[in-house]
Every structure is written in C-alpha cells, then in structure tokens.
Amino acid sequence: MVPFHFLYRTSLILLLSLGNMQTKLTFLGGAGNVTGSRYLIEANNLRVLVDCGMHQERDLRGRDWAPFPVPPETINAVLLTHAHLDHCGFLPKLVRDGFRGPIYCTPATTEIARIVLLDSAKLQEEDAEFKKKRHEREGREGPYPEIPLYTIADAEAVSPLFSPVPYEQVVKLDGGFTATFHDAGHVLGSAMIRVGVRLGRGQRSIIFSGDIGGWDKPILNDPTFFKAADYILVESTYGDRLSEPIEASVDKFAEAINETAKAGGNIVIPSFALERSQVLLYYLNKLLLENQIPHLAVFVDSPMAVGITEVFQHHPELFDEEMRKLIRQKKSPFHFAGLNLVTTVDESKAINHIQGTVIIIAGSGLCTGGRIKHHLVTNISRRERTIVFVGYQAIGTLGRLILDGAKSVRILGQQHKVRAKVIQLGGFSAHADRDELLQWLSGFKKTPRCVFVTHGEPETLPYFAGLVRDRFGGKVLVPGYLSEVVLD
C-alpha cells in the first residue's frame, strides 16, 4: 500500500528567500483544514514541533494512521498552545513512535492535557472494540484498522515529558530557540506562543496564535495583543462569520430550557469537556441566581468534564475579575444546588430513568464519541426533547449532520430518526469571530514578513486571507497540508 503521506506530498515549496535553506516551517496539519494542528520549525539542525493535534474530520483521519512526515525521534521539543485534542491529541502516537523530548506548555494545559489524552485513549480503545464487534456481526471491514490509534498506556507515557511553563516566562531551548507563552483567552491555560529563532547573526520571531478566544467572555481573561513579529500564524476557524452576541445566546438558552421543561422533555447538550462545559455551568448558575429558569437537575455526564472542572478550581489565578468576585461571594458556578457531576457508568445510565425534565451535558462536543452518543440514542427521536448545540461542529461529524437537518442519523451502528428540536447557540464559542480575529491582528503595528492563515475550513481560509490582505497589506498565504516555507 502506498503510505498515506506520499499521496499528500504535493508540497508547495514557497521560497520566501533562497538565502538560508536551514530555517524552515512545514505545515503538518491545521493547514487547509481545521483540525490536526502541527507546525514544524527546523533551524540550526534542530526540530521544534508547535502543537501535535489529532485530525477529527472523518476524511482526514488517515493522516493520523500514516507514518509521521519526519521521524518523531528527530524532533527536539514540542510546544503546546492548549489542551484541545486537535492541538495535543496526537502526542501519544508521537511518543510511541519515538519522540522523547520535553513538551512545553502552561501548568493548566499540562493538567488538562493529561486528562484529555487519557480520555481520548480510552475512547479509542472502546470504539475499536465496538467497531470490531460490529464489523464482525455485519461481515464487513471499516476504512481504518479496528485497533485504537493509541492506547491508555501510550497516553500515560506522555505524562513525564510535560514541562510546565507559566505565562510570560521566556524558555530557552537548544539551538538558539526561545519560546514564550501568552494568555490566548480561549480555554483555561491556553497560550499564543512567540518563538524566537536564531537566523545567522539575526533573530526572527514567529507568533503561533493557537486558538484565539473572544473578548469579554466569562471566566477567562481577554487574549493578548502583540505589537510586532516577523511571521504570524493566525487561526481562522470563524474567519468568515460573526458570533451571536453572548447575551442573545443566554436568552435563547433560557427560553429553550423553559419551553422544554413545560413540554416535559429533556435538554441534551453535546459539549466539549474543556471550557464549554464550565461556561455552561457559569450561565446555568447565573440563570438560577436570577430566577430565570426553574430549579432542574443538571448532570455533567463526563468524567473528563468533571476532572477538568477540578483543574479550574486549582487555578483561580487564571480567572477574570467577575469570576473571582463570584468565588469570593461563594456563588461559584461549580457548586450550585441541583448540579450533579457524574463519573461512573451506572450513574450515567441512571439518568435515563429519571422522571421529569433534566439537563444533560455530555461529551464529546462533536458527538464523535463518548456518552453523548447514548444520550442521543435515548432522546433524539422524541419530539418533546431538545438538543442544544453550543459549539462549532466540524464538517463530517455526527454533530454537523444533526445540525444540518438530517432526518435520520446513524449512531452506534443504528439509524435513528431525528424528531427532537435542534437548536444552536452561537455565542458560547471559545473562538474569536471574524472581527475579533482582525482586531487581534490590528495589534501588530509593523507589517510582518508574512501572515499564514491556518486552522480554517477550506472555503473560509482564502476568504479570511483576502480580508487580512485588504486590511493590513503585506504577504498573506494560505499554506496547504505538508507545504514548506523557507524563512528568511
């Protein structure tokens, strides 16, 4: 079989300079698509990988099964912007395949990534087992091997390599590399990373935006602005749209809860365990404190979301002023009446037997795995129930199919009619929208040598790149998967 990466090796080599062939940036994911962020910097005979994400689009998962484009043992260090799977989820495979260097990230990212990777490995083990049995029963083969991409043991092997670094502290790496982490306001511990690279007698700076958060969002501080950089990699997940104002989303959320409670149905919320679940708790707490919704039982049915909520409580220093005030007043969104943090399978199953309306928050956020699939099976075909999407749904995921109005969907190997009410709340996004991304770029007072537009859907990338070019001028590129750029 032809290795998958060779099929994609249509490397567009963009020579920004022929002068120094040593310093090179290669886009190993999150380029031309949204997930699988991995950017490799090669300079002074060293290799540093920024982010090590897993691909989540169904069509692109083959990239994670293919041999890594460079031997993992030749990578000297990994810098991690944050603990979402599309930024860190490939680490266990990288380590299993030979990477042994340090993984630098903030202390909160270290704690969250450990939880996220273990959960990912567990889900993959379970899914592989489930698929194997299903394929045996149906007498067919799936597109990928019926083995997990990595195991729990592989995820555990990543843990000792984490090297936590607080915000704003300069890390000196070998070969004249430096790295500094700055608050990205996206999820707890998330960072934008400024990488310094020695180039001849000079120095070049590259800013990796990671995922950029919004301004005036609950719990976290606002994203950091920068004044100058030689190269910028900017994400563009929401580069072609404006988010719904958060107040409008909260009003719709309250209305959906009240209407569904009146109809006697459940409210099922597929949610990312990191940030979105805590933000939902923040607003449920607020709506309860303001008497805008009835006192219903709220279940966070996700061991990972429960674990991450604990990490939030370890890091009050990362909270914004409003959140600190709530904690001081003993009105924490993580401890309100009716809140149930569910970890065991028995507790999870017991939710199905409760009479009356309950609110269920479960993962995964894209409905690609986890307990949400079971809750969807129970609830999706009942008219009085409501499925509330609170996050971005990538193309090719079950969540996107439901959101796009599919009349029937395949969940856990069975077709299910979609009869429940489906709504989307756009204001809870942890991503900056189009105008906020441009606002972030407007912080740069000097035109950089090049802006690379990454981490966006295929149709969003050129559109957002056009906006950046029109607004700020200079060189703006949309790199493709495996494209290489020589930095000068």
Q: Exposed/middle/buried for 262, CB within 10 Å: 0-12, 13-18, 19+?
A: exposed
Q: Which two tokens stand for residue 177?
A: 């590399």
Q: How far is the CB of 85 from Zn ion (least distance, A)?
A: 9
Rounded to 10 deg, the angle between the 107-138 and 303-314 helix axes is: 180
- Residue closer to Zn ion by CB (options 42, 235) is 235
Question: How many amino acids of this chain bind Zn ion (CB under 5 A)?
Answer: 2
CB of 82 to Zn ion, least distance (A): 6
Nearest approach in angstroms of CB 413 to Zn ion is 30
Nearer to Zn ion, 63 or 84 (CB): 84
At residue 371's C-alpha, the angle toward residues 369 and 372, to 5°, is: 75
* Min dist. Cβ of residue 54 to Zn ion (A): 12
User: For residues 84 and 204, which CB has a smaller minimum distance to Zn ion in the complex?
Assistant: 84
Interaction of residue 211 with Zn ion, rule CB under 5 A: yes
- Work out which of 84, 122, 286, 434 binds Zn ion, going by CB under 5 A: 84
CB closer to Zn ion, 83 vs 206? 83
Q: Alpha-carbon distance 310 to 109, whole Å?
A: 13
User: Which range of residues in 83-91, 218-226, 296-304, 396-404 is near Zn ion by CB under 5 A?
Assistant: 83-91
Q: Considering only CA atoms, which of 251, 249, 258, 261 is closest in space to residue 384?
A: 261
Closest CA to 237 of 442, 39, 35: 35
Q: Which range in 47-55, 81-89, 149-157, 420-428 contacts Zn ion by CB under 5 A?
A: 81-89
Rounded to a whole number of angstroms, the minimum distance from the CB of residue 187 to Zn ion is: 6
Q: In angstroms, give the least distance from the CB of 87 to Zn ion.
A: 6
Instruction: Specify the stretch interacting with Zn ion by CB under 5 A; choose among 208-216, 228-236, 432-440, 445-453.
Output: 208-216
Residue closest to 231 by CA, chosen among 86, 46, 43? 43
Residue 275 in the binding site for Zn ion (CB under 5 A): no
Q: How far apart are CA 127 and CA 148, in angstroms?
A: 8
- Does residue 217 touch Zn ion according to CB under 5 A? no
Shortest Cβ 64–Zn ion spacing (Å): 17
For Zn ion, the binding residues in 299-328 under the rule CB under 5 A are: none
Q: Is 339 helix (H, G, I), strand (E, B) or coil?
A: strand
Q: How many CB atoms lie within 10 A of CB 366?
A: 25
| DSSP count for the chain of H helices, then E strands | 15, 23
What's the one-letter identity of residue 309? T
The smaller minimum CB distance to Zn ion, of residues 116 and 360, is found at: 116
416 half-sphere exposure, CB direction, 13 A CA radius: 22
Only one of the segments 17-25, 82-90, 343-351, 461-469 lies at the binding site for Zn ion (rule: CB under 5 A); that segment is 82-90
Beta carbon nearer to Zn ion, 38 or 421: 38
Specify the residue, 364 or 386, whose C-beta has the smaller distance to Zn ion. Answer: 364
The torsion angles phi and psi of 315, rounded to 5 degrees, stand at -125, 60
Q: Which residues pair with 199 in a beta bridge?
A: 202
365 vs 369 by CB, closer to Zn ion: 365
Least distance (Å) between residue 272 CB and Zn ion: 9
- How far apart are alpha carbons 40 and 59 in whole angstroms? 23
x/- letters, 382..421, toward Zn ion (CB under 5 A): ----------------------------------------
The whole-angstrom separation of Cα 275 and Cα 84 is 10
Pairwise CA distance, residues 50 & 40, whole Å: 6
Among positions 232-261, residues that touch Zn ion (CB under 5 A) are none
Q: Which is nearer to Zn ion, 391 or 479 (CB)?
A: 391
Site for Zn ion, rule CB under 5 A: 84, 211
